[in-house]
Amino acid sequence: MRDIFQLSRRRFLQNSAIAAAFASGVSRVEAQQDIINDNFIDTLLAKMTLEEKAGQLHMEGVLTPRMVQPNFQKINPFTPNFTPAQAQKLLDEQQHRIRQGAIGFMTSPEDVDSVILAQKTAVEETRLKIPLLFGADIIHGHKTVFPVPIAEAASFEPDLARRTARAAAKEVTADQGIDMTYAPMVDIARDQRWGRVVEGSGEDVLLGSLFAEARVRGFQNDDPAAPDSLLACVKHFAAYGAAESGLDYAGNGLSERVLHEVYLPPFDAAFRAGAIVTMAAFNTNDGVPSTGDPHLLTEILRQRMGFNGAVLSDFQSEKELVNHGYAKDDRDAARMALTAGCDIGMVSGIYPQYLPDLVRSGELDVRYLDQAVRRVLYIKKQAGLFDDPFRRINKTTSTLAPMLKQHRQLARESAQKSVVMLKNEQSLLPLSKAGQRIALIGPFGEDTDNLDGAWSPFVPAIPSVSLVDGIKNVLSNTSDLTIVKGSEITTAIDGGIHAAVVAAQHSDVVILAIGEAATMSGESSSRTNIVIPEAQQALAEAVAATGTPVIVILRNGRALALKGAVRDANAILVGWYLGTATGPALTDILFGDVAPSGRLPMSFPLESGQQPYYYARELSGRPPAADSKQHFTSHFLDIPNQPLYPFGHGLSYSEIEYSTTHCNKNTITKGESLLVSCYLQNRGGRTVFETAQLYLHDNAASVVQPVRKMIDFTRVKLLPGEKKKIQFTVDSSALSFLDRNLTTRLEAGAFTVWIAPSATAGEPAQFELK
């Protein structure tokens, strides 16, 4: 699959952030058939009543037959609590709705029994025998829990994301009968206060687009009808990650040009990879809620981007048009969402409740209803459900069990590659497995509740392994290890700091395991102050005061503004939420069995107040001077205008030296390519993997361009002492951009390029486009 992603990167660059597709205003999704002319779908549609049509557009939470049992233990925390009698009544009512053809999709099953019961009713007891399609949040694993998506993006290895998505799809289709996952989330996120940063791939357009493509290919395996494939529902369309102040569900003030050039390319990449379902976002764009926006869901998504699939609302977002003050009532909201281009309503029920009567009254043209039903039937057909509605239902573990061992190893590899080493003063790392007294201090040392992060599976196959268990498994003598919690995540422990100080004083090195609870990131988990919680910061200050060297391991779902003793620790590892293999993977890094290779997929700011902070900022007319406090320049009064750690930063166990960037030509013309190269040399004694990044700046353009933007990267293996030339090909089309009229422009002029280890490093080279 490596060649696929090399081609994908080139194709992305040649399309210049999909500018050509947007400028043309025509459909260009080559792989998708014309669903309007599908005879099977047209024949089925002609047989349907208005109620059956509206039912196909309704998604409902599926109830399990187990809930009628007196000792029912729910797995899904979203399943309500009911008495057996209440449960039986609800189950009977849902079965009746299925028989009436009033449900087309079902979501979040407790178990495979619920899927079997509902599907049998749909295909055996309804008039038209149309199968249901089942969806669930399979975000970063199922029985095996892989690192959260933002962590995996730190690998800068899209094919790794493809492999973990493929593993998750194979597990859930063998175990639970799911047809579609509400993933990947491809929202570009440049404000770390936003909690859902954890679900995406960070701040960069290229990185986000490549990971979007990879995850779709992993879930669908280029054949969404296969029994072990999942339909990918790409979310959230669009610009959900640009929420003002990082506040979840908030709107944004984006220009149309920024929307197209920054926030839509990952969706384009996902659609090119074969995704045929997308989820409308909660937020407003230019004052219009996404779910009810015909400009967004019809003009941009379908007419410009050529998307022929189905649009699913986010949880009740079609009903929330009323809360926005955009629709006057639920009936109005149903009409507005459907005519805007939202085909499927998630859970609210307003489509089956109002659409038939809206058509009969003449308030809604039936063609809107028919085209939405065509799209729904199309994705069910593409998922193979008309051929075999039970293709992903397997009640035995015969196919699941053999794959779990292999997937645990993949989880360990993914976790290893996700860890980012921010600093390593005096080569404190790696540690020795013998003869070193180690104090493991902090609330995340023995913690098992915050290993997996947001949107974790309900019941993994095995519990994820804690940091302490990983360390104990490799130490020659576990008596060399002292464990002190020191504090809770957000509150102090009586005597906790004293115990931690004593442990640090009697140790050669401290591993300080601190960070965020899993609930501090994810949906509706925005933070105004993205720092280590106060109780843990106090613990860090006290431990640092002992003078014992400190290694900080962060548990986090976003970039953090590190302060005081945490910032000044001797070594810092970004440990994220790594899932099943947390302990083993971190231990592999700590003790040198594996050299760290992760890179930051988002910038770590100096202060929370810098948010939104990202590297690809537009140049100011008064850029900050070398003296960061020079008056009348773009600067803060109290801190330098720079990150603590920039996008792309990450160290390993050898120092890598970059030569000056070199271009093979001083001048190119439109249609020509440029070769950009430099030498990397491993100055250390360890074999390491280095991620070299290629950045570009257009020195003068008719629209102000970013200070830098990453246009390529490569992961290079370097043996001890090895010097290696790396080379990138830059096509002239990669120099184009969108103007204010959304027209692709390729302008003559001077350009600067850097091959660098991060977004703020590197020795530049210049060339000119004639």
CA distance 406 to 174: 15
Alpha-carbon dihedral sign for residues 459, 461, 462, 464: negative
* Other C-beta atoms lying within 10 Å of the C-beta of residue 25: 13
DSSP conformational letter for 192: T
- Residues 613, 641: contact at Cβ < 8 Å? no
Q: Which two tokens stand for residue 665?
A: 């030509």
Pairing status of strand 667-668 against strand 765-769: parallel
- Residues 139, 193: contact at Cβ < 8 Å? no
DSSP conformational letter for 721: T
**Residue written as tokens 């000792």?**
71
Q: Which two tokens stand for residue 193?
A: 């206060």
Pairing status of strand 737-738 against strand 744-745: antiparallel
Residue 673 bridge partners (DSSP): 731
> Which of 265, 280, 427 has the alpha carbon at shortest distance from 344?
280
Q: Give catalytic status of residue 314 as yes or no.
A: yes
| Residues ≥6 apart with Cβ < 8 Å to 391 | 225, 227, 384, 385
Q: What number of H helices and E strands is found in the chain? A: 21, 29
Query: In one letter, which amino acid is 507?
Result: S
Helix (H) / strand (E) element for 674: namely strand 673-682
Scanning 100-138, the segments in alpha helix (DSSP H) are 112-125
Instruction: Give me the catalytic one of 314, 452, 480, 712.
Output: 314
CA distance 168 to 147: 12
CA distance 652 to 599: 10
CA distance 209 to 732: 20
Residues assigned a catalytic role = 314
